[in-house]
């Protein structure tokens, strides 16, 4: 997986109020894509741990593994936080997604408690565009999340395989995911890691936001923890600077994700993570219309504003952002004058000789109305 697009743990160092440009002064800790790969320096590796059994059997791809009353079939996703498996719930006779978390993420009691608190809060979210969390379970010392299965792949793979999405589809996607974030914000929850890999599609093509709360739980360990979790390609500038996050950071990441969906490119293209993070801080905001000329100016302007370097220059709330997306979407239904390339939309033209009824006609019974005319 491209490290520029993977959720990683960053430990920024600020020198005289500015981010260091030296790789040696900006350590980058990539969590293994396989959650059971590697151990902490002073941690003894337990090859009998259930996690290692899952790892070995998933690598062999010859047998399925039973985890409680779940049967794990195959890996369908992987990232810095853990690995997601396609599984069958043997009790309820349905397919689910199971996320097995990295051992090291649960070895710290404070981290484990924060994760449990956030998982419970996210499980209380009910929204058509948020992946549902069914349960948080523990079998033989291995904690895992049981979630709703979205079998239509993720946005990153869809754009990579099929190319940029139509403008109307991107605007619809933005409206739906922004409404999901607004719902979560109403419960006091920030996502903190919005990227194309975390937007999944159901078989009915309904987009759903996944991985709620994981990065948030890790970030809230305490003021002394200077680390942050993010996907470098979509991280907000204020997060890179180590400043306090808000929903505006999620908004920036969502706008960058929509930029990718509509252009097929990440907002900033660099050769290293360090250069990419510095680009979020200092490079001009990318303009979608420059990358794809058939995009409307309205849509391009909305994305530029949502990715403003100064958080306070973005939209005041999610409803403001949704309103601008909806207005841009509405304008796509109206062809520009003189532009023959745009599809025509039906227009109701009043008849020239249509009879004009008096105002009181609509309040009269049918018999009286006919005599009144």
pLDDT at 78 exceeding the cut of 90: no
DSSP code at position 5: G
Structure tokens at 180: 């999901």
Residue 373 binned pLDDT confidence (cut-offs 50, 70, 90): very low
Q: Are 242 and 290 in contact (CB under 8 A)?
A: no
pLDDT at 355 exceeding the cut of 80: no
310's CB contacts (< 8 A; 6+ apart) are: none
pLDDT at 115 exceeding the cut of 70: no
Residues paired with residue 77 on neighbouring β-strands, in sequence order = 84
Global pTM reads 0.73
What is residue 114's predicted lDDT score, i.e. its pLDDT? 63
What is residue 158's predicted lDDT score, i.e. its pLDDT? 95
| Cα–chain center distance at 219 | 17
**Measured distance CA(318)–CA(38) in Å, rounded:** 40
Q: Which residue numbers are catalytic? A: 193
**Measured distance CA(37)–CA(31) in Å, rounded:** 9
130's CB contacts (< 8 A; 6+ apart) are: 180, 183, 184, 208, 209, 212
Question: What domains are there in the chain, each with its CATH number?
Answer: 3-37+57-331 (1.10.510.10)
The percent of residues above 70 in pLDDT, for the chain, comes to 64
**φ, ψ of residue 230 in degrees (nearest 5):** -165, 165
pLDDT at 71 exceeding the cut of 80: yes
Q: Taking each helix axis as running N to C, give the angle between helix 318-331 and helix 167-186, from 0 to 180 degrees, rounded to the nearest 10.
A: 160
pLDDT at 31 exceeding the cut of 80: no
Q: Are 201 and 208 in contact (CB under 8 A)?
A: yes
pLDDT at 83 exceeding the cut of 70: yes
Residues paired with residue 74 on neighbouring β-strands, in sequence order = 86
What is residue 113's predicted lDDT score, i.e. its pLDDT? 72
Q: Are 136 and 117 in contact (CB under 8 A)?
A: no
Q: Are 207 and 176 in contact (CB under 8 A)?
A: yes
| Cα–chain center distance at 198 | 4
Q: Are 205 and 352 in contact (CB under 8 A)?
A: no
Average pLDDT value for the chain: 75
pLDDT at 254 exceeding the cut of 80: yes
Cα separations in angstroms, 239 against 43, 57, 244, 257: 30, 38, 7, 16
Cα separations in angstroms, 31 against 194, 227, 253: 18, 13, 21
pLDDT at 256 exceeding the cut of 50: yes
What is residue 25's predicted lDDT score, i.e. its pLDDT? 32
| Cα–chain center distance at 372 | 62
* Per-residue buried b or exposed e for 274-284, using 16+ beta carbons within 10 Å of the residue's own CB: bbbbbbbeeee
Name which of 155-169, 252-266, 330-344, 356-370 the model is least confident about: 356-370
pLDDT digits (tens, 9 = 90+) for 282-326: 999 999 999 999 999 999 999 999 999 999 999 999 999 999 999
Closest C-alpha among 299, 326, 312, 302 to residue 247: 312
Cα separations in angstroms, 227 against 15, 211, 281: 16, 19, 18
- The maximal CA–CA distance of the chain, rounded, in angstroms, is 97
What is residue 347's predicted lDDT score, i.e. its pLDDT? 31
Mean pLDDT of 81-107: 86
What is residue 26's predicted lDDT score, i.e. its pLDDT? 32
Task: Compute the radius of gyration of the chain from its Cα atoms.
Answer: 25
What is residue 291's predicted lDDT score, i.e. its pLDDT? 95
Structure tokens at 37: 């790969």
**Measured distance CA(237)–CA(18) in Å, rounded:** 12
The alpha-helical segments, DSSP class H, found in the chain are 50-60, 103-106, 109-123, 155-162, 167-186, 214-219, 237-240, 247-263, 273-282, 288-291, 297-306, 318-331, 366-372
Residue 100 binned pLDDT confidence (cut-offs 50, 70, 90): confident
Mean pLDDT of 63-90: 86
């Amino acid at each position: 997986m491209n490290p520029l697009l993977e959720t990683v743990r960053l430990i920024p160092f600020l020198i005289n109020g500015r981010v260091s440009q030296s790789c040696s002064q900006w350590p980058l800790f990539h969590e293994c894509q396989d959650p059971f790969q590697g151990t902490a320096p002073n941690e003894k590796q337990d090859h009998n741990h259930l996690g290692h059994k899952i790892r070995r059997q998933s690598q062999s791809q010859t047998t399925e593994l039973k985890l409680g009353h779940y049967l794990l079939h195959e890996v369908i996703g992987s990232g810095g936080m853990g690995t997601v498996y396609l599984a069958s719930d043997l009790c309820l006779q349905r397919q689910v997604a199971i996320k097995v978390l990295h051992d090291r993420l649960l070895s710290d009691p404070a981290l484990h408690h924060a994760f449990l608190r956030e998982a419970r809060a996210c499980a209380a979210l009910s929204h058509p565009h948020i992946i549902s969390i069914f349960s948080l379970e523990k079998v033989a010392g291995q904690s895992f999340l049981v979630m709703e299965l979205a079998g239509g792949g993720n946005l990153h793979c869809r754009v990579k395989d099929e190319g940029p999405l139509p403008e109307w589809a991107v605007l619809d996607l933005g409206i739906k995911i922004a409404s999901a974030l607004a719902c979560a914000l109403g419960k006091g929850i920030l996502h903190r890691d919005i990227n194309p890999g975390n937007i999944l599609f159901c078989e009915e093509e309904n987009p759903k936001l996944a991985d709620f709360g994981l990065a948030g739980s890790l970030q809230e360990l305490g003021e002394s923890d200077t680390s942050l979790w993010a996907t470098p390609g979509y991280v907000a500038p204020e997060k890179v600077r180590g400043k306090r996050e808000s929903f505006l950071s999620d908004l920036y990441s969502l706008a960058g994700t929509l930029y990718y969906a509509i252009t097929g490119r990440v907002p900033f293209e660099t050769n290293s993570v360090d250069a990419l993070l510095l680009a979020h801080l200092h490079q001009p905001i990318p303009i979608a219309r420059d990358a794809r000329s058939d995009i409307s100016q309205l849509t391009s302007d909305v994305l530029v504003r949502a990715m403003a370097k100064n958080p306070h220059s973005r939209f005041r709330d999610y409803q403001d952002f949704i309103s601008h997306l909806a207005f841009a979407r509405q304008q796509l239904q109206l062809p520009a004058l003189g532009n023959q390339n745009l599809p025509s939309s039906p227009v109701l033209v009043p008849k020239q000789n249509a009879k004009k009824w008096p105002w009181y006609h609509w309040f009269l019974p049918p018999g009286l109305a006919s005599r009144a005319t």
